[in-house]
Amino acid sequence: MDSLINSFFKKLLPYEISKKTESLLKNIALILGLLSAIAIVFDWYPLTMFLSFPFCLIWIYCAWLHTEPQLKWINFIFLLIYFSGIIRYFSGIEA
């Protein structure tokens, strides 16, 4: 499964990025993470999912760049959870 995810990212995103670009991505992820935490505290559903989804994508990509498989897989699991929640929200399926 790891090789499947790696090949997906190799086709869609560059394997190497500048430190400046990586730093920008991580700062964006930090802001998204903080906003997501605030949305959780104030119960601003479904904003939490919409903020957390790109947060996970950024961290999967940054982990993939540096071959940190554990971080990549943790965020991939959360990405799937948020994606299913977003699909359920738009389709009107109740929990």
The conformational region for residue 92 under phi > 0 = left, psi -120 to 50 = alpha, else beta, is left
Q: What is the pLDDT of residue 70?
A: 77
Tokens of 75: 């965020």
| Nearest in space to 48 (alpha carbons), one of 57, 63, 64, 37 | 37
Residuewise pLDDT in 10s, the chain (95 residues): 667 777 777 777 777 788 899 889 889 999 999 999 999 999 998 999 999 999 988 887 777 666 677 777 888 888 889 999 899 889 987 65
Tokens of 58: 């950024």
- pTM attached to this predicted model: 0.71
